Structure formats: C-alpha cells, structure tokens
C-alpha cells in the first residue's frame, strides 16, 4: 500500500514533531506550509534530525491550483492536516481570517483531495470543541459547543467532515482532539516558538524561566479544584506525534482488512487522561529546572473552564496508543528547548 503522506502545516509545532515520528515509522512525507506561523529553520532542523532533506513546499491550503500541482505530482496515501491558525484572542479580533483560513482552507483541501481521489485524512481538532464539559473525564460522545471563532472553526470543520462521510462512504476521516500539547523533542532542536507574548501556559512559564518575561499571571485561584487553579490534561508533543502515527496505521489497517465502516468520521481524544493544575505544573517546572517562577494570582480569563481532561480509552482501544511521558518529562524537555533556544528559531522567515 502507498505510504506517502501530505503533511499540511508540517513546519509548525506539532507538525514538525510528527514529521520525525512519521519518518521513523517508515512514512514518506511531503510538507506543505505557508510559513505564516513557522520557519524554514524548523524544516532545516527536522531534516538534520532525520538525517535527510525533508520535501517541503511553501504554499497555502487556500490555493487550489498549487495544491492541485502537489497532488498531481505525488501519489499520496492520505493527508495529515495540521495547517490552521490557533490563537483564541486573535480569532476574536479577526474572525473572518480564522473562518477563511481554517474552514475555507480545509474545504479547498478536501475539494482537491476529492478531485485526485485521495480520501484518507487525519485532522487536527481540539478539546476546545467540548466547551465547558458537563462530565469528566471527557469522552468523545460528550456534547460539543464553542465560545470563540477559533473553536467554532474547529467545530465547523468537524461538522463538514461528518457530512462528507455521510455523503460519500469512500472517505476515511479521523479527527484527533488534542488536549494541551506541551514539551519538545529531547534533542532540544525543535519546540514551540510562539509569536509575541505566549497565550498558553507552558510557553509563558518557560519564557519567565529564561528571563524573557518577568512574572506569570495565574488566571484565577477560586475554581473548585484541588488548589483553586485550573486543571488541564497536558500531553507531551512526542506522545501526540506518536498518536498520529497510530491513527494513520489504524486507517491503513482498516482498509487492508476491509473494515472501513469503522472509520467514516471518527473522532478520537489524544490526552493522557490525567488532570494537572496550573500550580502543580508551575511547581513541577521549578523542581525539574531549579528555576523559580515568580507568579501572581489575577482574575479568571474569560472563556476558561475550571477543569478539562480526557477519557483516553478510545485511543487505547482502537489505536493501541496511550501517552507515556510524565509531567516531569514535559517540563524537562520544554526547558531543554527553551534554554538552548531563548529566541526560538530566531528568524521566522530565513
């Protein structure tokens, strides 16, 4: 069976780590990315780590002509679709940009895939589609709702994929709902490199530790949780990358054994199943790195939920995958990346 995979958004944080895992698993990859939130330097470093030059095409998923050229000159098994914009606050300020990039871009990609008869897709969804969860841990049948344009764009794509699967049973569509990805490759060569001041907790902590930011604001200490701070399911990006390999292998296997009916549109959580509070993460980071993280408690952040963690049993049952790396390893690897690369990839558009 074919083993060539198109990786949209493969130069980004999760995509770059997944490229390494896919290569190690024997997949032949082509990265397609417009570098709107990443750099050629990330591609260069992934190439160094895998010991060969990665195939990279600079292009936009909204560009059907360019995508057509890519599909006509490669015989793909399928697509892993990471490309998307991901800032909640930016999405509130620029909803049209988010719907255009994340929703219209995905429609264009799906249209080109259909034109070339490539109907295997693994899509980057998010635990954000669960909104404020009614029950914990959150399983895949939990109700979905979102409160911001970024989340709506992920939910909209999920609905589109569901409808597509109903309309034509030759599609095999897996939506991986990530919980809170953190950490970095153990080499310290690649990692998360946010533009501007980070919105997310772990990159904020690591930038305080490296001296780029003065103090962490902890958004709320009056939640009904063990220590009053929010609880999340942090998952190491290396485990997440392996989850993509497992999803692709599953998809391939179901085709081989002629059980595609089990896929159609298949949502799967990628989380550890464990909740960690904001304060616990800060304390573990300090223990592991020896770096004190000055912090202050401030008001809750609008749109935040108290607790969010996955039921990880569907991924284990279907994909034979489960997260292995601990919070300690997440902190260690984040710090290894941040301390070796205080300015990330430095120049975003080398």
Which spans of this chain sit near ligand UD1 (rule: CB under 6 A)?
86, 88, 126, 128, 150-151, 180, 199-201, 204, 216-219, 230, 232, 278, 301, 303-304
Encoded tokens for 264: 């159609």
Burial 294-313 (b: 16+ CB within 10 A, else e): ebeeeeeeeeebbbbbbbbe
CB within 8 Å of 167: residues ≥ 6 apart: none
| Total binding residues toward ligand NAD, as defined by CB under 6 A | 27
- Specify whether 27 is catalytic: no
The binder of 250, among ligand UD1, ligand NAD, none, by C-beta within 5 to 8 A per type, is none
Using Cβ positions, the residue closest to ligand NAD within the complex turns out to be 12
Residue 130 makes contact with ligand NAD by CB under 6 A: no
The binder of 124, among ligand UD1, ligand NAD, none, by C-beta within 5 to 8 A per type, is ligand NAD
Considering only 27, 41, 105, 201, the residue that binds ligand NAD (CB under 6 A) is 105
The strand pair at 231-232 and 276-277 is best described as antiparallel
CB within 8 Å of 341: residues ≥ 6 apart: 188, 191, 193
Q: Which is nearer to ligand UD1, 145 or 254 (CB)?
A: 145
Cα three-residue angle 134-220-194, rounded to 5 degrees: 90
The least distance separating ligand UD1 from the CB of residue 205, rounded to whole angstroms, comes to 8
Residue 87 makes contact with ligand NAD by CB under 6 A: no
C-alpha pair distances (Å), 341 with each of 125, 241, 334: 28, 21, 10
- Axis crossing angle, helix 40-50 with helix 13-24, rounded to the nearest 10: 20
The least distance separating ligand UD1 from the CB of residue 48, rounded to whole angstroms, comes to 27
The binder of 245, among ligand UD1, ligand NAD, none, by C-beta within 5 to 8 A per type, is none
Q: Which is nearer to ligand UD1, 5 or 235 (CB)?
A: 235
Cis peptide leading into residue 137 (ω within 30°) = yes
Which residues ranging from 222 to 241 are in contact with ligand NAD (CB under 6 A)?
none
Encoded tokens for 208: 């305080």
Torsion of CA 87, 90, 96, 100, to 10 degrees: -30
Considering only 13, 27, 234, 285, the residue that binds ligand NAD (CB under 6 A) is 13
Residue among 150, 178, 223, 345 flagged as catalytic: 150
The binder of 218, among ligand NAD, ligand UD1, none, by C-beta within 5 to 8 A per type, is ligand UD1
Considering only 106, 126, 206, 332, the residue that binds ligand NAD (CB under 6 A) is 126
Encoded tokens for 250: 């599953």
CB within 8 Å of 104: residues ≥ 6 apart: 62
Considering only 19, 29, 34, 161, the residue that binds ligand NAD (CB under 6 A) is 34
The binder of 84, among ligand NAD, ligand UD1, none, by C-beta within 5 to 8 A per type, is ligand NAD
Which residues ranging from 143 to 182 are in contact with ligand NAD (CB under 6 A)?
178, 181
The least distance separating ligand NAD from the CB of residue 336, rounded to whole angstroms, comes to 18
What is the x/- site pattern for ligand NAD, positions 59-78, by CB under 6 A?
-xxx----------------
| Sheet containing 172-178, strands listed edge to edge, beginning at the edge strand earlier in sequence | 55-58, 28-33, 4-8, 78-81, 120-126, 172-178, 265-270
Encoded tokens for 243: 């989850």
Tell me the chain's radius of gyration from C-alpha atoms.
19
Binding site for ligand NAD (CB under 6 A): 8-9, 11-15, 33-38, 60-62, 82-86, 101, 105, 124, 126, 178, 181
* Catalytic annotation, residues: 150
């Amino acid at each position: 069976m074919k083993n060539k995979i198109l990786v949209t958004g493969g130069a980004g944080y999760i995509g770059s780590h997944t490229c390494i895992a896919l290569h190690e698993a024997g997949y032949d990859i082509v990265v397609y990315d417009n570098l709107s939130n990443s750099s050629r330097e990330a591609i260069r470093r992934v190439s160094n780590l895998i010991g060969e030059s990665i195939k990279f095409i600079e292009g936009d998923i909204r560009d059907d002509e360019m995508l057509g050229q890519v599909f006509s000159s490669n015989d793909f098994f399928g697509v892993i679709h990471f490309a998307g914009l991901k800032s909640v606050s930016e999405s509130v300020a620029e909803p049209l940009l988010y719907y255009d990039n994340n929703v219209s871009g995905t429609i264009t990609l799906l249209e080109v895939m259909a034109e070339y008869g490539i109907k295997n897709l693994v899509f980057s969804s998010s635990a954000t589609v669960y909104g404020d969860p009614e029950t914990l841990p959150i399983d895949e049948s939990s109700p979905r709702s979102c409160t911001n344009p970024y989340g709506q764009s992920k939910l909209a794509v999920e609905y589109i994929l569901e409808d597509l699967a109903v309309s034509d049973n030759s599609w095999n569509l897996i939506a991986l709902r990530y919980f809170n990805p953190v950490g970095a490759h153990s080499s310290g060569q690649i990692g998360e490199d946010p533009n501007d001041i980070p919105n997310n907790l772990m990159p904020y902590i690591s930038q305080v530790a490296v001296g780029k930011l003065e103090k962490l604001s902890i958004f709320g200490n009056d939640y009904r949780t063990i220590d009053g701070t929010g609880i999340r399911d942090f998952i190491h990006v290396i485990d997440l990358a392996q989850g993509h390999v497992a999803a692709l292998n599953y998809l391939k296997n179901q085709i081989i054994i002629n059980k595609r009916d089990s896929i159609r549109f298949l949502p799967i959580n990628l989380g550890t199943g464990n909740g960690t509070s904001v304060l616990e993460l800060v304390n573990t980071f300090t223990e592991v790195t020896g770096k004190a993280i000055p912090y202050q408690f401030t008001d809750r952040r609008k749109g935040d939920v108290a607790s969010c963690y996955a039921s990880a049993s569907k991924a284990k049952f279907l994909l034979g995958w489960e997260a292995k790396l601990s919070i300690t390893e997440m902190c260690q690897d984040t710090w290894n990346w941040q301390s070796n690369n205080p300015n990330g990839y430095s120049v975003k558009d080398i």
